[in-house]
Chain A
Amino acid sequence: QVQLVQSGAEVAKPGASVKVSCKASEYTFNNYFIHWVRQAPGQGLEWMGSIKPPWANTNYAQKFQGRVIMSIDTSTSTVYMELGILRSEDTAIYYCARELGSPDYWGQGTLVTVSS
């Protein structure tokens, strides 16, 4: 069945960057958008942006523009989300989700902890 498998937990220092991966399988990778959504501890869901294979057209939330880069490796059906200039408020679980009208499959989430 459709799977989105994300990379493992990360710990990063303030000011550094982190790169999270999301490997897709069991569906036609190029047909769906991949979105990134994050959830701070005890908080709600926050949309960060999306990317569309195969040409990697991106759409970033205004809040993250200049700090986030989403990319694709079509050879491995993997999407990457890199967030830079990290601050403590970026500590959250980061999810990828597949979408073509509705976000129907989600990755398991990647905990990113920003701490000195």
Chain B
Amino acid sequence: QAGLTQPPSVSTDLRQTATVTCNGNSNNIGFQGAVWLQQHQGHPPKLLSYRNGNRPSGISERFSAFRSGNTASLTITGLQPEDEADYYCTAWDSSLNAWVFGGGTKLTVL
């Protein structure tokens, strides 16, 4: 099944801003938006943003999710060492009747 497209890796300096992008189409991101997940090594994924871009309780304001057309993006400001993790976007695809995932982006904090 066709998935979403993310860059494999992003590297940004400590205390700077990182952006992770996620490209889909009108059947998934363009249809209902994307969800962002964070996964640290050896742990299950953790929800960072709902489909509408809102943050769950307990998620830092440094994490912001946006959507423009068929592209979703996650911006992390004031990067901290603990932000080093894998980030996944996911969305419901109405034509496939399935969840689709991006391949994941490994964020390195320099």
Interface of A is mostly: strand
Q: Which of B21-49 contact A (CB under 8 A)?
A: 35, 37, 44-47
**Would A109 and B47 count as touching, CB distance under 8 A?**
no
Select from chain A the residue with minimum beta-carbon distance to B99. A47
Give chain B residues whose Cβ lies under 8 Å from the Cβ of A104: 47, 50, 56
User: Within residues 70 to 116 of chain A, which ones have a CB less than 8 A from any CB in chain B?
Assistant: 95, 97, 101-109
B47 touches A102 (CB 8 A): yes
B40-74 CB mask vs A (1 if < 8 Å, else 0) is 00001111001100001000000000000000000
Asked if residues B104 and A108 are in contact (CB atoms below 8 Å), the reply is no
Q: How far is the CA of A110 from the CA of B94 in the complex (A)?
A: 29
For chain B, give the interface size range. 20 to 34
Inter-chain CA distance A95–B90, complex, in Å, is: 15
Kindly name the residue among A37, A95, A102, A105 whose own CB sees the greatest number of chain B CB atoms within 10 A: A102
Assess whether A28 is interfacial by the CB under 8 Å rule: no
Which of B51, B98, B103 lies in contact with A101, CB distance below 8 A? B51
Interface size class of A (residues with CB under 8 A): 20 to 34
Contacts of B101 in A (CB 8 A): 37, 44-47
Indicate with 1 or 0, residue by residue over B59-97, a CB within 8 angstroms of chain A CB atoms.
000000000000000000000000000001010000011
Residue ID in chain B nearest A50 by CB atoms: B99
9 A-B pairs with CB atoms under 8 Å apart are A37-B99, A44-B103, A59-B98, A62-B1, A101-B50, A102-B50, A102-B51, A103-B37, A103-B45
Residues of A participating in the B interface, judged by any CB pair closer than 8 Å:
35, 37, 44-47, 50, 59, 61-63, 95, 97, 101-109
- For the complex with contacts A45-B37, A61-B1, A62-B1, 13 further pairs of A-B residues with Cβ separation under 8 Å are A44-B88, A45-B88, A47-B100, A59-B97, A62-B98, A95-B44, A95-B45, A97-B45, A102-B35, A103-B35, A103-B45, A103-B90, A106-B44
